[in-house]
Every structure is written in C-alpha cells, then in structure tokens.
Amino acid sequence: MKNTTVKQLTLFIAGILVTGLVMAQEMVFPTPPPNPNQLFYLQRDPNTNTIVCELNYKDGILDEEDPVHVFWLRFGEKGQRAELNFVQRKFAYGVKTRLLEKDKYELHFVSYKKYLMHLMKAADNKYHVYATINKKQAILNRIFVRIKGGSFWTPHVEYVDLVGIDPVTGTEVTERMKI
C-alpha cells in the first residue's frame, strides 16, 4: 500500500512539473494598451517584456531625422515604460531609418538588416509600417521572435512570426519565417 502511495505521489509531482514546463513554454503575452502613435510591437522569449515602435513627433510634426521611437513596456515587471539601453538600441532592437521621399521611409532593425519595412503615410492620412508578409504588402501589427538557446550576442532564433493587415481587404495576414 505504501508503494502505491509513493508511486501516486511521484506521478502527481511529475505531472505538476510537466504542466509547469508546458505552461512556461506557452507563455501568454499581453497586448500593449491603445496608443495612437503605435506602429507595431515585438515580443520574444524568454519573458513578456515588449518592444513598442511608435511615431516620433517633435512639436506635433513627425521628426524626419528620427521618425520611429522604440521603447520597452516591461510587462514582466510592473508594466512600466522604459527606454532601450545603449546595447539594445545599437545592437538589437534599435530601428534604422532612411528618408526615401516625403512621407516615406525605409526602416529595419539594427540586428536584422535583411528584412526591410517602409513607414508611409496612407490614404487615411496616417502613418503605417508596411512590410512583406506572406508575399503581400501588409500593414505590420506585431512580430514574435521564438528564441531557443544561444547567447546574449548570438541567440538561436528558431522562427519569427509576422502579423499584419492586408490594406486592401482588411484581412489578417501572417507568416512564419524560419531564420
């Protein structure tokens, strides 16, 4: 009878551990609160802290030299807003921009120059970031980066999920890119 109890207890504890691991792998990521200047946001492992890219206005006018402001929402802490530090801004999550013509910019993350996006004023007279998602131009809403190991300087990125809206149909467009 004692062996049965020990086995049941062992199975119970193992179940809790496995459930905890599964829950950790299926982390729930919060959606940033409404922000009229928000362009899109990026979330990644290993925590729920979120990178937000928003329009950068200076005296009510888009700053042509630095049109995108990137910052953290620290959901893993108290949900507070925090600026990127120097290393994050220069080597990971900073966004480089280049003015192409009036109201049109090319941009990319400093850590991944291959994926180009465009900040443009649309027919609704608002700025949006357009990106190629599943071979279509879409308004980018969010990015998720799945990181499995690696190091701080060279994380192993398993995949990147891109989510946007088709500007013609209004339907959601998604793509999973293997990196």
pLDDT at 144: 98
pLDDT over 60 at 161, yes or no: yes
pLDDT at 2: 53
pLDDT over 70 at 113, yes or no: yes
- Find the mean pLDDT for residues 51-60: 97
pLDDT over 50 at 142, yes or no: yes
Q: Would you say the C-alpha torsion 177, 135, 115, 173 has a positive or negative sign?
A: negative
* pLDDT tens for each residue of 124-134: 999 999 999 99
Q: What is the pTM of this model?
A: 0.84
148 Cα distance to chain centroid: 16
- Find the mean pLDDT for residues 62-91: 96
Q: Which of 145, 172, 170, 141 is nearest to 159 (CA)?
A: 145
pLDDT at 8: 44
Are the C-beta atoms of residues 94 and 70 closer than 8 Å to each other? yes
Q: Which of 146, 151, 135, 121 is nearest to 42 (CA)?
A: 146
Are the C-beta atoms of residues 41 and 32 closer than 8 Å to each other? yes
As a 3-state breakdown, the chain gives helix, strand, coil percent values, each rounded to 5, of 15, 50, 30
pLDDT at 6: 38
* pLDDT tens for each residue of 1-46: 455 443 443 333 333 333 333 334 568 999 999 999 999 999 999 8
pLDDT at 179: 81
